[in-house]
A and B are shown apart, each in its own frame.
Chain A
Amino acid sequence: MIQHLPILQVIIPLLAAPICFILKEARLVRWFVLIANVMAFVVSIMLLQQVNLHGTLVYSLGGWEAPIGIEYRVDELNAYLMILVTSISTITIMAAGSSLTKEMAESRQTYFYIAYLLCLTGLLGILATGDAFNVFVFLEISSLASYTMIAMGNDRRSLWASYQYLIMGTIGATFILIGIGLMYMMTGTLNMHDLAERLPEVEQTKTVFTAFAFFLVGVCLKLALFPLHLWLPNAYAYAPSIATVFLAATSTKVAIYVLLRFIFSVFGFEFSFTHMPLTEILVSLGLVGVIAASVVAIYQTNIKRLFAYSSVSQIGYMILGIGIGTKTGLTATMLHLFNHALMKSAVFLALAGLVYRVGSVNIKAFAGLGKQMPWTMAAIVVGGLSLIGMPLTVGFISKWYLILALLESNLWPVAVLVLIGSLLAIAYIWRLVEVAYFKPALQNNQSYKEAPLAILIPAWIFVIANIYFGIDTSFTVGLSERTADLLFGVAK
């Protein structure tokens, strides 16, 4: 049992998805999905324990050894991210019941849950696998499931958003496939471990350069790095609230994992940062992303879109951390990966509660809500403060490390721009705060009640996590530093 954990992690949601078809009844499905999620979460915790005990776990699928068969490889990095993904998925699903009931017909809910589980399968598969082609397959599974989820939003524009994402996502996937194909052409293997060993022999060839370029662009499309982010704002804004929470918190993070895995473990630090101008590319794009997306966020009237643009800018911070190419920088990225997931889950879940009561996320609808829905609004405000990077929230921790990394590398002008980025965050958060707390409720608005507890409690779990991990940082900082070590190939 224990040695099968890596595959169990992926198989549980994968098998749970078709079972939902059999169950049919939305209420049953809801509980079943929750149980499947909890099981996946437990497995991920056991995996981290196993990794801590035995080091990297290697699992050969179907008993076929690596070069021929597919191999799953779990080290501290992916074990950490699996916990992140499964825990967020589990807490989100707790809120799904009431939020979905409001947003879609009961007959469609089962399909939503199936798409949700398949998306989870894809994400966990990407994390678990040690096979480059397998990464592509799971990426497609999760992407297709996301297109479906987004299209199920009750706004007609959600179809358009889904279609936009489909086109962009497919281009990205194709680029990734081309990249992997070229790598295979040069090395004759798809196993990432083997690739890492064989690539150095041929790394000075144009084919490998091209493979790297294709792969990089493809992944950056998936993780919505500015200026390849165009699909993201609409997708987040018009998807069902629960889908937004899940996608915002996990899918871009997993794409960043893929990026990290390939540039550090497969191509290797040497190749990526010395033969390729990765620092220049990532730092400049990350920085432009931080500033540009924050500025655009200030002018949004749809609050889900506002926070979607904020996500693009936060992704910029993570990319920036990678681009610095030092251990501290990577630690900052890993921290922000975790922390940003917490912030956005809190904010988008609170917005889900708001949609439940108010039915709109237009900024005008927020007038007077500070009084009428104090707990929901407080969740958004705390999440917002965390985005700004206030002390005692998680945002401060990741920002601290990022600035530290930049100053260590003497990139102080970049550090100044990063701080300006958090000032822009104040601008877009405070616009919301002022409307919610100072504008009197509109005349024709009836008085809104607080969001239902089923949504409020999960949202506040994330809010408290935002504060808790901002105060007790030993878990996140320790793990981030160890994974950064791991990626830099430093022995533990």
Chain B
Amino acid sequence: MSGAINNGLSNELSSEIANQMMTQEALMQWIILLPLLAIPGILLFHKQQNLREAATLIVGALLLFAVIAFYQSFDAGQGAYVHWWELLPGLDIAFRAEPLGVLFSLVAGSLWLVTSIYSIGYMRGHGEGNQTRFYFFFAIAITGVMGLAFADNLFTLFVFYEILTLSTYPLVTHAGTDKARHGGRIYLSILLVTSILFFLFAVIGTWTETGDLTFTAGGVFDDSTSKVVASVLLALFVFGIGKAAVMPFHRWLPAAMVAPTPVSALLHAVAVVKAGVFSIMKVCVYIFGIDLLAELPITDWLLYIATAGVLLASLVAMRQDNLKKRLAYSTVSQLGYITIGALLATQSGVLGGSFHIVAHAFGKITLFFCAGAIMVAAHKTEISDMRGLGKTMPLTMIAFFIGSMSIIGLPPAAGMWSKWYLLMGTLEAEQVAVMIVLMISSLLNIAYLLPIPLRAFFDGERSVVSIRRDEIKEAPWPSLLALSITAIMTLVFFFWPQPFYGLAQSLATIAGGAHG
């Protein structure tokens, strides 16, 4: 009790501090634009590596500070709304703080800094070229993510969605090889095809149908919209938001694994894919409203498609020997969980789904960091080559173990909470089949993730790593630091899920608010 009061007091205090410095509105705009401020520094110091990275790190730290300050005053009840300009009559570029957006901005803001630290170790350790270009587009992508997170309407969301697609293309194809070009082609074509053909179509369709694209609690559709039209629009949204990687539009994700590991880590475990499921969640909660969602006949079908995707992707992941590929398919499968959470159209589903955005982000980024660390330090990419690696890279492998637990949903890792609420959601919605599949998929997660760290530690006799046992050879320290931070955070959020849990909870309340 006293803790809660203390908490409230400190919240008040910090929001007061924030008030003195700048208003909540100004802070929100800073969060969106801050990453861009790193760009002049990055370009100016393109010859001096250390200064260039300092620019990214300083801005990253500022951004982290900003999102936390923003969260605190948001939690204290301060909303924010900013209207930039009217792009077309009735269609605004505008931003508003709401729980899901704040949650997403917290995740992306904190992980950008960590990833930047990691990148320094990785990019130098791996001897990558064109690093200035890399940091440049990375910063633009983060702006895209922040704009998307705070978008007040579908139109703004779409604009930033496309900015994110285009700004990440140079990152995916960073290597510039034929393979990278090929992967980039798949990445771009799937994301653009789905977004233009389905997503944009659905946005304009919603606009002609309702004349309102603002995210509204309870949805924007009224009774005049026929069920058929709404169903078609929902399907267009779910498949059109290709970043959510709903099967059969998931192939860009494995293809994008040609990117340098920090890109895979932040963009393809956190920013890009989460932007996708975030958008789906937003559409489900704020455009359709879960009441309408539950009434639509197509929702069940989409739910089954997403469920089938979860299972299939897990099965495919088992067959991958390339670690990054396996993680990619695991991501496809885990994104399905969040989509399911949104489509279940229950409060628990929304809660579990949005918390899984956080849990999966921290867990998966740890796994990717580990994959990159192994690549830099031991030059291994195939899982079969990693036996006995625990002796030389103990920290990395421990972090990998923790990350895996979170993905599987075992305590004491954050992933447990989201799986818990998702399963509750399936029960509430009486979707037993979905529940069974989710449980099977968790078992599959165990089968394809846990053996990697376990064999690394306990399969030393058949070790293929030809280094002396007692020799420790970890990745460069910035990378190691980064992956330790995310692994520890994964554990911390099991015991202290409060900031994210609270946000997910208030989103669920908003979603359920229409119930009366």
- Which A positions have Cβ atoms within 8 angstroms of B? 385, 388-392, 397, 400, 403-404, 407-408, 415-416, 419-420, 422-423, 426, 430, 434, 437-438, 471-474, 477
Taking a contact as CB atoms under 8 Å apart, the answer to whether A408 and B88 are in contact is: no
Select from chain A the residue with minimum beta-carbon distance to B87.
Answer: A473
Q: 7 closest Cβ contacts across the A-B interface?
A: A391-B159, A407-B208, A438-B181, A403-B204, A391-B162, A419-B197, A419-B196
Select from chain A the residue with minimum beta-carbon distance to B198.
Answer: A419
Select from chain B the residue with minimum beta-carbon distance to A405.
Answer: B208
Of the residues B85, B163, B189, B204, contact of A471 by C-beta under 8 Å: B85
Closest approach, in angstroms, between the C-beta of A114 and any C-beta of chain B? 42
Taking a contact as CB atoms under 8 Å apart, the answer to whether A471 and B166 are in contact is: no
Taking a contact as CB atoms under 8 Å apart, the answer to whether B176 and A404 are in contact is: no
Q: At the interface, is chain A mostly helix, strand, loop or mixed?
A: helix
Closest approach, in angstroms, between the C-beta of A486 and any C-beta of chain B? 18
List of B residues within 8 angstroms of A437 by Cβ? 173, 176
Taking a contact as CB atoms under 8 Å apart, the answer to whether B88 and A392 are in contact is: no
A-B contact pairs, 28 of them (CB 8 A): A388-B192, A388-B196, A389-B196, A391-B158, A391-B162, A391-B163, A392-B159, A392-B163, A400-B88, A403-B200, A403-B201, A404-B207, A408-B208, A415-B204, A416-B201, A419-B201, A423-B192, A423-B193, A426-B192, A426-B193, A426-B196, A430-B185, A434-B181, A438-B180, A438-B181, A474-B86, A477-B88, A477-B89
Closest approach, in angstroms, between the C-beta of A411 and any C-beta of chain B? 12
Within 8 A of A (CB), among B160-215: 162-163, 166, 173, 176, 178, 180-181, 185, 188-189, 192-193, 196-197, 200-201, 204-205, 207-208
Closest approach, in angstroms, between the C-beta of B111 and any C-beta of chain A? 25
List of A residues within 8 angstroms of B166 by Cβ? 385, 390
How far, in whole Å, are A419 and B166 apart by their CA atoms in the complex?
Answer: 18
Taking a contact as CB atoms under 8 Å apart, the answer to whether A397 and B189 are in contact is: no
Select from chain B the residue with minimum beta-carbon distance to A426.
Answer: B192
How far, in whole Å, are A125 and B207 apart by their CA atoms in the complex?
Answer: 41
List of B residues within 8 angstroms of A392 by Cβ? 159, 163
Of the residues B89, B188, B201, contact of A415 by C-beta under 8 Å: B201
Of the residues B162, B201, B204, contact of A390 by C-beta under 8 Å: B162
List of A residues within 8 angstroms of B205 by Cβ? 407
Select from chain A the residue with minimum beta-carbon distance to B88.
Answer: A473
Given the interface pairs A392-B163, A404-B204, A419-B201, the reply to whether A472 lies near B192 with Cβ below 8 Å is no
- Which B positions have Cβ atoms within 8 angstroms of A? 85-89, 158-159, 162-163, 166, 173, 176, 178, 180-181, 185, 188-189, 192-193, 196-197, 200-201, 204-205, 207-208
How far, in whole Å, are A389 and B176 apart by their CA atoms in the complex?
Answer: 26
Taking a contact as CB atoms under 8 Å apart, the answer to whether A438 and B204 are in contact is: no
List of A residues within 8 angstroms of B201 by Cβ? 403, 415-416, 419
Closest approach, in angstroms, between the C-beta of B488 and any C-beta of chain A? 39
Taking a contact as CB atoms under 8 Å apart, the answer to whether B87 and A471 are in contact is: yes
Q: Assuming A392-B163, A403-B204, what are 15 further A-B pairs, CB within 8 angstroms?
A: A390-B166, A391-B162, A391-B163, A392-B159, A397-B88, A404-B207, A407-B205, A415-B204, A416-B201, A419-B200, A426-B188, A430-B188, A471-B85, A473-B88, A477-B88
Taking a contact as CB atoms under 8 Å apart, the answer to whether B207 and A438 are in contact is: no
Taking a contact as CB atoms under 8 Å apart, the answer to whether A423 and B208 are in contact is: no
How far, in whole Å, are A340 and B193 apart by their CA atoms in the complex?
Answer: 22
List of A residues within 8 angstroms of B185 by Cβ? 430, 434
- Among B163, B176, B178, find the residue whose CB has the most chain A CB atoms closer than 10 A: B176
How far, in whole Å, are A426 and B166 apart by their CA atoms in the complex?
Answer: 12
How far, in whole Å, are A407 and B158 apart by their CA atoms in the complex?
Answer: 19
How far, in whole Å, are A372 and B163 apart by their CA atoms in the complex?
Answer: 25
Closest approach, in angstroms, between the C-beta of A192 and any C-beta of chain B? 32
Closest approach, in angstroms, between the C-beta of A32 and any C-beta of chain B? 41
Q: At the interface, is chain B mostly helix, strand, loop or mixed?
A: helix
Taking a contact as CB atoms under 8 Å apart, the answer to whether B162 and A423 are in contact is: no
How far, in whole Å, are A472 and B88 apart by their CA atoms in the complex?
Answer: 8
List of B residues within 8 angstroms of A416 by Cβ? 197, 201
List of B residues within 8 angstroms of A388 by Cβ? 192, 196
Select from chain A the residue with minimum beta-carbon distance to B232.
Answer: A412
List of A residues within 8 angstroms of B207 by Cβ? 404
How far, in whole Å, are A392 and B163 apart by their CA atoms in the complex?
Answer: 9
Taking a contact as CB atoms under 8 Å apart, the answer to whether A404 and B87 are in contact is: no
How far, in whole Å, are A420 and B200 apart by their CA atoms in the complex?
Answer: 12
List of A residues within 8 angstroms of B158 by Cβ? 391
Taking a contact as CB atoms under 8 Å apart, the answer to whether B196 and A422 are in contact is: yes
List of A residues within 8 angstroms of B200 by Cβ? 403, 419
Select from chain A the residue with minimum beta-carbon distance to B209.
Answer: A407
How far, in whole Å, are A389 and B196 apart by their CA atoms in the complex?
Answer: 9
List of A residues within 8 angstroms of B87 by Cβ? 397, 471, 473
Taking a contact as CB atoms under 8 Å apart, the answer to whether B196 and A407 are in contact is: no
List of A residues within 8 angstroms of B192 by Cβ? 388, 423, 426
Closest approach, in angstroms, between the C-beta of A416 and any C-beta of chain B? 7
Select from chain B the residue with minimum beta-carbon distance to A435.
Answer: B181
- Among A400, A420, A426, find the residue whose CB has the most chain B CB atoms closer than 10 A: A400
Closest approach, in angstroms, between the C-beta of B171 and any C-beta of chain A? 13
List of B residues within 8 angstroms of A420 by Cβ? 197
List of B residues within 8 angstroms of A415 by Cβ? 201, 204
- Among A385, A407, A408, find the residue whose CB has the most chain B CB atoms closer than 10 A: A407
Taking a contact as CB atoms under 8 Å apart, the answer to whether A407 and B204 are in contact is: yes
Closest approach, in angstroms, between the C-beta of A412 and any C-beta of chain B? 8
Select from chain A the residue with minimum beta-carbon distance to B208.
Answer: A407
How far, in whole Å, are A429 and B158 apart by their CA atoms in the complex?
Answer: 21
Taking a contact as CB atoms under 8 Å apart, the answer to whether B197 and A423 are in contact is: yes
Select from chain A the residue with minimum beta-carbon distance to B193.
Answer: A423
List of A residues within 8 angstroms of B86 by Cβ? 474
How far, in whole Å, are A392 and B158 apart by their CA atoms in the complex?
Answer: 11
List of A residues within 8 angstroms of B178 by Cβ? 438
How far, in whole Å, are A385 and B192 apart by their CA atoms in the complex?
Answer: 12
Closest approach, in angstroms, between the C-beta of B395 and any C-beta of chain A? 37
How far, in whole Å, are A422 and B197 apart by their CA atoms in the complex?
Answer: 9
Closest approach, in angstroms, between the C-beta of B262 and any C-beta of chain A? 21
List of A residues within 8 angstroms of B173 by Cβ? 437-438
Select from chain A the residue with minimum beta-carbon distance to B91.
Answer: A400
How far, in whole Å, are A420 and B193 apart by their CA atoms in the complex?
Answer: 8
How far, in whole Å, are A388 and B192 apart by their CA atoms in the complex?
Answer: 10
Closest approach, in angstroms, between the C-beta of A391 and any C-beta of chain B? 4
Closest approach, in angstroms, between the C-beta of B145 and any C-beta of chain A? 16
List of A residues within 8 angstroms of B197 by Cβ? 416, 419-420, 423
Closest approach, in angstroms, between the C-beta of A199 and any C-beta of chain B? 35
How far, in whole Å, are A400 and B204 apart by their CA atoms in the complex?
Answer: 8
Select from chain B the residue with minimum beta-carbon distance to A390.
Answer: B162
Select from chain B the residue with minimum beta-carbon distance to A397.
Answer: B88
List of A residues within 8 angstroms of B162 by Cβ? 390-391
List of B residues within 8 angstroms of A438 by Cβ? 173, 176, 178, 180-181
How far, in whole Å, are A208 and B445 apart by their CA atoms in the complex?
Answer: 75
Of the residues B163, B181, B196, B208, contact of A404 by C-beta under 8 Å: B208
How far, in whole Å, are A416 and B204 apart by their CA atoms in the complex?
Answer: 12
List of A residues within 8 angstroms of B163 by Cβ? 391-392
List of B residues within 8 angstroms of A477 by Cβ? 88-89
Closest approach, in angstroms, between the C-beta of B88 and any C-beta of chain A? 6
Closest approach, in angstroms, between the C-beta of B92 and any C-beta of chain A? 12
